[in-house]
Structure 1
Amino acid sequence: MGYLEKDAKEPACSIKPASNTTSVENIGAGGVNQDQAVERRQPADDDRSSESAPASSFRTMSRRDTILALLTNQVGLGVLSLPGVLKTLGMIPGTLAIIGLGCLSWYTAFELKLFYDRHPHVLNIVDMARVVGGRGFAIVAAFGMILLVMMTAASASVTFSVALSLISDNALSPTGFICFGCLCCWLLCVPRTAKFASWTGIPSCVSILAATVVLIAGLVVSEPVGAPVGWRRAPVWFATPSFRDGLNACLKICYAFSGNVSFVSYMAEMTDPQKDFAAALAWLEVSSIGFYVFVAVTIYCLAVEYTASPALGSTSTAFARVAYGLVIPSILTKGLAFGYTGIRYAYVEVIKYFSIAQEITASNKRS
């Protein structure tokens, strides 16, 4: 499992998972020769002399690590816009839209898993595009993927700026806070492994849960911002939005489930993706859909027509400051999860160009 496919579509840096050998691949001028590989080879139970593994395999993620990485990647800032979706569509259509698009996200992610099972040499979604449509399609997919991860990481930096501006009472200009947020996200991406992203999964989930609890508490003890004296909550079950507003609301839901672009990169770093990814994906989708529906319905029922987007703006300034302070770890890990995908793709392409695939997991100056 996880061995390279020996066809014309195999990327130059495809590396099979660690086996019973510690030699590196003979990848040409940038690699080692066959004599060196033979000298390093450990005894093996089966004959795999024609294929060898890197000195340190990048396949290190267990099922638990994958679940945490997927939660870090998907559950985050997007949930704060979902109460506004119910405000636009109405409670019942909005809830059905969240569940329906969540199931669609689950299906498309599972299709990626099935594709990976047939082509386990791919390292990212661009490699999948190369298998399907050749180099031209891969270029289009690479442009789209980089644009998506850049915009998502930029969104995290802007939200980070808003949070610090509110907490510090505008102690620094928004541009300064944005630059600081970009620097923090970049530093978090330096380890270059999805396993590191999985380590941030628990702090990220605790962060967004705590911020949500504070927001709900603020709406329970006081009226939402802008509500007049004597206002009473009356949720709208079915709304009549314009086509533009309805489409925009659905796109916000899609953004909340937009983590699929990173899933292939995670599968490439799993020790047993064929066995573990489907279970990890089920954990992700069931928990995220349930959490999204709970947060959206609860906050919308408390704020109704005064629901803001993001929802943290619906409560008083004091509660909003506390909530924004608690959500900062989730903001940074969102930038990490998507920024890592883009940085890893660029790193792998450079590794391919210089034909030094044996150093893909190294920690030296050249790598």
Structure 2
Amino acid sequence: MTDSDSDLTVGKQMEMEAGNAIKYRTCSWQKTAALLFSEYICLAIMSFPYSYSVLGLVPGLILTVVVAALVLYTSLIVWEFCLRHPEVRDVCDIGQMLFWNKKWAWWATGVMFLLNNTFIQALHCLTGARYLNTMTHHSVCTIGFSAIVAVISWLCSLPRTFNTLAFLATFSAFFTFVSVLLAAVFAGVEDHPGAGWPSLGDPKVLAVPAAGTTFVAGMNAFMNISYTFIGQITLPSFIAEMKEPRDFPKALWAVTIAEVILFSLVGAVVYAYTGTQYNTAPAFGSLGDPVYLKVSFSFMIPTIIFLGVLYASVSARFVFFRLYSGTRHMGEHTVVGWASWAAILAATWVLAFIIAEVIPFFSDLLSLMSSLFDSFFGFIFWGVAYFRMRKAEHGPRFWAVRGLKGWAGFIFNIIIICIGVLFLTGGTYASVQSIIDGYKQDNFGGAFTCADNGFVTP
């Protein structure tokens, strides 16, 4: 960040791009809400039944509400920070500002930012291949299906502004809602869970964790819940394209309330009818009737494509804005601008495809991403941001001069940072150990394998 950047108010930014063919400060809070819904109302909802089967229904529901509240609080900190610094373009600018305005902090944040986004793209290549394998009974090599999903996603990533993507986001969120609702209904009406599974008796539902549940299993289940809620990494990018950033909390509250209701209900209902012994992540594989499985899974197609598209677009902005900031390629339809945009997106999808083939698993990939990246982007950054803002307002002893409110904020944000450290240490250990155990038990295929990763259906 430079000194001149700090003078760029929202009004000045909109003034500067008023004559451009491509305008970026164009999103209303409703369109931003659509982007948030598409990010949070996603395939990862279907990992909640698995998490509840490990943690027990009561602790699982409690953690769902607690994590949602923590993410809401830290997201409001992100918003407050962006209001104070309208020159911020993405979370990497914030990373540099939080850590003494050092360039190494920008680079470190940038590396984590791009890796996080590319891992999410990879996850959607993997899941897209899983869907196609399930629907076609493995008619094509899994590598081929993954490549098809990557190419389709690249094409859908080409729009340059979030304003353009907002319509697709609405479409994605709506069909995801239909998908998970159908899965919950089908779980309730079918005769027996587990298509193609051997009979494991009637579904067993646990109120608390089963005796002997390991730290690794419990931590991974907790990470699956946390990953679905934590998405603060994209918020600065969304706020940077809002016409009126002060309206952002409206979008945030709307999506948070919807999340808590939908995640809890779908997770609890599907778990109640499929039980501990028939659970898969995602939970579509827990359905007993292959028709039910395929119908509900099919409504997930828009989010399988779009959420990867959204993160690819955020990554491409990060690179493109740095390459062409201040040039006509940013705001005009130039050959160089569009060719560069398409090439940057293509590079992210090629890397995502490679990662998808090297790491062919779902649940552990969620947990590993959560522990490595969400520790910073979900908690540590925003605890530090709170301290920086309050110090700027009230001086170095801000907690003391503000009385009880100051001490409460100080202690709570220390806890926020400690939760991030727990993610980084205990979460990473649990994720890596789970992956090691999975390979020892031969639960995963090899790298670049043609093996069928679809759900088993008769």
TM range (shorter): 0.7 to 0.9
For residue 336 of structure 2, what is the aligned residue in structure 1?
366
Q: SS in structure 2 opposite 1:228? A: coil
Q: Is the 8 A contact 1:59 1:270 kept in 2?
A: yes
Matching of residue 127 in structure 1 with residue 127 in structure 2: no
Larger Rg: 1
For residue 304 of structure 1, what is the aligned residue in structure 2?
275
Q: Is the 8 A contact 1:11 1:122 kept in 2?
A: no
For residue 111 of structure 2, what is the aligned residue in structure 1?
143
The counterpart of 1:223, out of the listed 192, 197, 201, is 192
Report the AA paired with residue 308 of structure 1: T
For residue 161 of structure 1, what is the aligned residue in structure 2?
129
Q: Distance in 2 between matches of 1:103 and 1:21?
A: 37
Q: SS in structure 1 opposite 2:281? A: coil
Q: Distance in 1 between matches of 2:282 and 2:81?
A: 36
Structure 1 residue 196, shift from structure 2 partner: 2.4
Structure 1 residue 92, shift from structure 2 partner: 0.5
Structure 1 residues 319 and 55, CA gap change in structure 2 (3 angstroms): closer
Matching of residue 351 in structure 1 with residue 324 in structure 2: yes
Structure 1 residue 209, shift from structure 2 partner: 2.1
Structure 1 residue 156, shift from structure 2 partner: 0.7
- TM-superposition CA deviations, 1:93-152 (whole Å, max 9, x none): 011111111111111111110110111001100011122222110101000010100001
Q: Is the 8 A contact 1:72 1:197 kept in 2?
A: no
Q: Distance in 1 between matches of 2:179 and 2:331?
A: 36
Structure 1 residue 22, shift from structure 2 partner: 4.6
Q: Is the 8 A contact 1:9 1:131 kept in 2?
A: no
Question: What's the % identity of the aligned pairs?
Answer: 21
The counterpart of 2:258, out of the listed 267, 287, 293, is 287
Q: Distance in 1 between matches of 2:88 and 2:166?
A: 21
Q: SS in structure 2 opposite 1:309? A: coil
Structure 1 residue 329, shift from structure 2 partner: 0.8
Q: SS in structure 2 opposite 1:238? A: coil
Q: SS in structure 1 opposite 2:178? A: helix
Report 1:1-367 matches (<5 A). Answer: 7=3, 10=6, 16-19=12-15, 22=18, 56-133=22-99, 134-219=102-187, 220-225=189-194, 226=197, 228=199, 231-240=201-210, 241-274=213-246, 276-305=247-276, 306-315=278-287, 316-352=289-325, 355-356=326-327, 358-367=328-337
Structure 1 residue 303, shift from structure 2 partner: 0.6
Q: Deviation above 6 Å: which 4+ runs of structure 1? A: none
Q: Is the 8 A contact 2:32 2:166 kept in 1?
A: yes
Structure 1 residue 227, shift from structure 2 partner: 6.6
Report the AA paired with residue 304 of structure 2: I
**C-alpha RMSD over aligned residues:** 2.3
Report the AA paired with residue 178 of structure 1: S
Structure 1 residue 166, shift from structure 2 partner: 1.0
Structure 1 residues 197 and 22, CA gap change in structure 2 (3 angstroms): closer
Q: Is the 8 A contact 1:211 1:324 kept in 2?
A: yes
Q: Distance in 2 between matches of 1:258 and 1:157?
A: 21
Structure 1 residues 22 and 82, CA gap change in structure 2 (3 angstroms): closer
Q: TM-score, normalised by structure 2?
A: 0.67
- TM-superposition CA deviations, 1:284-317 (whole Å, max 9, x none): 1111121111110010011111121110000132
Q: Distance in 2 between matches of 1:227 and 1:213?
A: 26
Structure 2: segments with no counterpart, 5+ residues: 338-458
Q: Is the 8 A contact 2:181 2:266 kept in 1?
A: no
Structure 1 residue 6, shift from structure 2 partner: 7.9
Structure 1 residues 85 and 207, CA gap change in structure 2 (3 angstroms): same
Q: Is the 8 A contact 1:17 1:57 kept in 2?
A: no
Whose relative contact order is higher, 1 or 2, with alpha carbons under 8 Å and at least 6 apart? 1
Structure 1 residues 314 and 74, CA gap change in structure 2 (3 angstroms): same
Structure 1 residues 167 and 121, CA gap change in structure 2 (3 angstroms): same
Q: Distance in 1 between matches of 2:143 and 2:124?
A: 13
Q: SS in structure 1 opposite 2:89? A: coil
Report the AA paired with residue 191 of structure 2: S
Q: Is the 8 A contact 1:15 1:121 kept in 2?
A: no
Structure 1 residues 11 and 77, CA gap change in structure 2 (3 angstroms): farther
- TM-superposition CA deviations, 1:253-303 (whole Å, max 9, x none): 1221232111111101100012x1011111111111211111100100111
Q: Is the 8 A contact 1:167 1:324 kept in 2?
A: no
For residue 420 of structure 2, what is the aligned residue in structure 1?
none
Q: Distance in 1 between matches of 2:266 and 2:219?
A: 21
Q: Is the 8 A contact 1:9 1:130 kept in 2?
A: no
Q: Distance in 2 between matches of 1:74 and 1:294?
A: 15
Report the AA paired with residue 161 of structure 2: T
Q: Distance in 2 between matches of 1:154 and 1:11?
A: 38
